[in-house]
Structures are given as C-alpha cells and as structure tokens.
C-alpha cells in the first residue's frame, strides 16, 4: 500500500474503506464476512475507515470488530456529526457521545460535519457554539482532525472551505464529476491551502463499472494496458496530487484485492496523453446516453433567478444513466437542501443562459423537463420542509 499525508504529516493509505455498504446477509450486516474483509484490508495496508452516524449498523459493527481484533492503534477512524439532526447545542454532545460508544473508542481520528450543502448549515452550527466545542475536543485529544463532507456546487464548496481552518474535507469526485459538485476547482483550491481531500463516489456508485454503455466497454476492452473500468477510474484520481485518499465501499474480497493492488502501484503524474484521451473518449460515450448534453462547464451561470442549471441537468441525466432514484437522491442532496431555492422551477425564461451555452442546449425547455422529472409533487413538498428544517428551522 502507498500512503499520502494529512495536514499534520500523518500517513493515510491511498485507499480508504468506505463502511456504508458492508456485506449483507438476510437483510442485515454480515458481521462474519465484514470482519474477514476488514482484517484483510488492514493486512494489505488500508488504515482509513470511513463511517457515519446514519449508516445503519455501521459504527456499531466497525467498533465491535476493531475492539475484538485489537486494531484501534493500527487504523484511523473517520465518522460524521449528523448536523442536520441537531436542534440545540446539547445535541452536538448527544450524538458524539453515542458515536464513541458505538465505535468503542475514546477518540476519533477524523471527524466530519456531515453533508454540508450550504454555508448556512455551517453558520447554524457556529450559532450553537461548534467552534468552541471543536477547540475543546481537539485540545483534549478526543478529536484529532476536523473536516466536512460536501454535496453542492463549486462556489458553495469554496465558501465553506474558506469559512474555517479545516484539517481535511471529503468530496464526490470522479471523471464524470470533474466539473460538477466541488469539482477540480474545489480539489485544487483545497490542495493549494494544504487541506487533504478524501474522495467519495470514485466510481459513481458503480456507474463507471457496471452501467457503462457498450461503446465505452469496447474502448476499455481495447486498452493496450489491459486495465479494468475500476482501475482506469481509480488511477485517474490518484494521478492528481490533490487527492489524499479514495474511499471505496468494498463489499467483496475480489473488489478489495483489486483496489488494494492498484493503490499499491499508482503514483502522481503517471497518466500519459493516451490515458487522458481514453478517459475523455469514455466520458463522451457516456454523454451520448443522456437526454441533455451538458458538460458542466457553467458558462450558463450565474442565473439571474438563482437556478443551478448544471446541477439540475446532471441529476436529470443521472435518472437516465443510472435510475430515477439515483438522480433524485443527488438532486435532494445538492440542490434541495440549500437555503435558497435553486430549483429549475425558478426559471422565468429570460434566455440569458442559452446565449452563453457552447453546446447550444435549449436550456429553458430542458429545465422544464428536468423540473418535472426531479420534483414530483410529493418530493417537492418533502424538500421544502427539509430545507426549512436544515437551514432555517434550528434557531
């Protein structure tokens, strides 16, 4: 295994174990198989394990396995404060203490504010005294590093990045999301500031392995280096110096062995011009399967009405390339939970966006379709209530 360093010089394995999708058996976590895979991961050099309060059973099972096998000193545990559930100051300690008990530990190596989608969510925590709370926990060694996980647009990510002296952050990033969510701009800004970046969804939830169009699969089969779809995607990430650790929700031994092999071989700057051409060609074939040929370039932005046009099209396209559920879930995370209404329903048809679009997309008409698909009446109502709760209902 190869390692990169965090803000304080500690080593983090190239590959991190994402604990959201532990192996299942009979509708519950298969503890025996999970233990087998975790022990093998540690044996192969993986030292970063990422979980969260809302990952059903994950913290508890991880804690049991770590304690049983005396692994605590060999690994780094990352988990997340469910900031969207906190109503008052006391809630911060309530959730944190429960997490320590679940994980059977007296300290957390990497603690994240979970799923910040808007600067307002961080500001609410500040009103509840989160900065003082962090200072206290870090001074006593109960938390080693503080960070945040992010779903949203690039500009919002940059605002949150500058809002506090973070030790690290976690973003969704892969070759399809190079210019969306935090994107390459966000990654490189964090790198400039010396802030380590943990990568989630490196394979877009398996999209870049299992749901590729046949034309993209053919390109990969013809790769002279004989790489798999997962290997191409992972090597693209590790080629970048700003990527500190890539999380993978490995729920099979075969996947674990392959990913660890790749993580042990890669180096920054190894990609050739031909490698970049291959990834670009694969991306182009994927784009052909979507209803809106949006590249996420953001030339259409800013919208006078605040519509997040690239996010709307990205989520709308995902409904076709993966599933309606996947597209709507991403839309909920990245658009619906922000303080201001950035939905395509805000469009008034001024046409400013269309005059700047290099793809010559009929943005006004496509936004109407996206709005209808992404926000059926029941989801629109739920989103409104959730947004009020997360960003405005905790004062």
Residue 15, both tokens:
């590959």
Residues 111 and 164 in one domain: yes
Please check whether residues 350 and 259 belong to one and the same domain: no
Are 160 and 122 spatial neighbours (Cβ–Cβ below 8 Å)? yes
Percent of the chain scored above 90 by pLDDT?
A: 78
Q: Which CATH number goes with the domain that contains 188? A: 3.20.20.100
Check if the beta carbon of residue 169 is closer than 8 Å to that of residue 190.
yes
Domain end, chosen from 239, 257, 279, is at 279
User: Which of the listed residues 279, 300, 330 is the one where a domain comes to its end?
Assistant: 279
Question: pLDDT value at position 170?
Answer: 98
CA distance 322 to 210: 10
More confident residue, 258 or 323: 258
Q: Tell me what pLDDT residue 393 has.
A: 44
Place 390 in a pLDDT band, splitting at 50, 70 and 90. low
Q: Which of 258, 279, 300 is the last residue of a domain?
A: 279
Highest average pLDDT, of 1-5, 152-156, 173-177, comes from 1-5
Q: Greater confidence, 120 or 295?
A: 120
Query: What phi, psi does 38 have (nearest 5°)?
Result: -65, -40
221-226: long-range pairs with CB below 8 Å, 24+: 223/278
293 is a domain residue = no
Ranges 240-249, 355-364, 372-381, most confident: 240-249
Q: Distance between alpha carbon 223 and the CA centroid of its chain, in Å?
A: 28
Q: Give the model's pLDDT for residue 380.
A: 67
- pLDDT band at 185, cuts 50/70/90? very high
* Residue 205 is assigned to a structural domain of this protein: yes
On whether residue 119 sits in a domain, the answer given is yes
Q: Is residue 271, in this structure, part of any structural domain at all?
A: yes
Which residue range forms the structural domain that includes residue 355?
A: 309-392
CA 31 to centroid of chain Cα atoms:
25
For the stretch 59-94, pLDDT in tens is 999 999 999 999 999 999 999 999 989 989 999 999
pLDDT of 263 above 50: yes
pLDDT score at 382: 65
Number of domains in the chain: 2
- Each residue of 300-317: pLDDT tens digit? 999 999 999 999 999 999
Are residues 256 and 315 located together in one domain of the fold?
Answer: no
Same domain, yes or no, for 264 and 317? no
Nearest alpha carbon to residue 219 among 262, 277, 273, 175? 277
One domain for residues 36 and 153: yes
Residue 302 located in a structural domain: no
251 & 195 share domain: yes
The pLDDT, as a whole number, for residue 394 is 41
> Do 256 and 250 touch, CB atoms closer than 8 A?
yes
pTM as predicted? 0.85
Same domain, 273 and 371: no
pLDDT of residue 186: 98
The rounded distance, in Å, linking the Cα atoms of 331 and 310 is 11
Query: Based on the domain organization, do 96 and 199 belong to the same domain?
Result: yes
Q: Nearest 5°: phi and psi at 143?
A: -125, 130
Instruction: Return the minimum-mean-pLDDT range out of 3-7, 32-36, 57-61, 311-315.
Output: 311-315
Number of H helices, E strands in the chain: 16, 12
Q: Indicate whether 275 and 318 sit together in one domain.
A: no
Per-residue confidence (pLDDT) for residue 300, from 0 to 100: 92
Tell me, what DSSP letter sits at residue 301? P
In a shared domain, residues 215 and 317: no
Q: At 16, give phi and psi (nearest 5°).
A: -110, 150
Instruction: Tell me: do 18 and 112 sit in the same domain.
Output: yes
CB 312 within 8 A of CB 336: no
- For residue 247, being part of any structural domain is answered with yes
Closest CA to 326 of 342, 315, 341, 311: 315
How much is the mean pLDDT over the chain? 93
Burial class of residue 287 in the structure, from the number of CB atoms within 10 Å of its CB (0-12 exposed, 13-18 middle, 19+ buried): middle
């Amino acid at each position: 295994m190869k390692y990169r360093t965090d803000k304080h010089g500690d080593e983090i394995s190239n590959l991190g174990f994402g604990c959201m999708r532990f192996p299942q058996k009979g509708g519950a976590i298969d503890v025996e198989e999970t233990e087998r895979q975790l022990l093998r991961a540690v044996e192969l050099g993986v030292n970063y394990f990422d979980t969260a309060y809302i990952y059903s059973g994950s913290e508890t099972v991880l804690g049991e396995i770590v304690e049983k096998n005396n692994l605590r000193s060999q690994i780094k545990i990352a988990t997340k404060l469910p900031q969207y559930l906190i109503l008052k100051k006391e809630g911060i300690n309530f959730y944190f203490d429960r997490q320590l008990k679940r994980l059977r530990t007296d300290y957390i190596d990497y603690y994240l504010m979970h799923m910040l989608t808007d600067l307002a969510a961080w500001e609410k925590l500040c009103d509840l005294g989160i900065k003082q709370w962090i200072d206290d926990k870090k001074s006593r060694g109960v938390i080693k590093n503080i960070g945040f996980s992010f779903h949203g647009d690039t500009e919002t990510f940059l605002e949150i990045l500058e809002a506090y002296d973070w030790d690290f952050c976690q973003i969704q990033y892969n070759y399809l999301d190079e210019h969306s969510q935090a994107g390459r701009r966000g990654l490189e800004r964090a790198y400039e500031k010396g802030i380590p970046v943990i990568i989630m969804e490196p394979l877009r939830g398996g999209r870049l392995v299992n749901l590729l169009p046949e034309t993209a699969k053919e390109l990969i089969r013809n790769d002279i280096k004989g790489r798999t779809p997962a290997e191409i995607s992972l090597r693209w990430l590790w080629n970048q110096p700003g990527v500190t650790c890539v999380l993978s929700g490995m729920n099979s031994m075969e996947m674990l062995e392959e990913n660890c092999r790749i993580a042990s071989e890669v180096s920054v700057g190894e990609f050739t011009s031909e490698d970049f051409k291959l990834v670009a060609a694969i991306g182009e074939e994927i784009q052909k399967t979507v209803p809106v040929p949006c590249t996420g370039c953001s030339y259409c932005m800013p919208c006078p009405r605040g519509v997040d046009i690239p996010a709307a099209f990205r989520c709308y396209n995902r409904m076709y390339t993966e599933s309606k559920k996947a597209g709507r879930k991403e839309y909920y995370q990245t658009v619906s939970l922000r303080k201001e209404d950035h939905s395509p329903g805000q469009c008034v048809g001024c046409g400013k966006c269309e005059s700047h679009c290099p793809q010559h997309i009929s943005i006004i008409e496509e936004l109407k379709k996206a709005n209808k698909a992404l926000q059926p009446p029941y989801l629109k109502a739920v989103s409104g209530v959730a947004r009020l709760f997360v960003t405005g209902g905790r004062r």
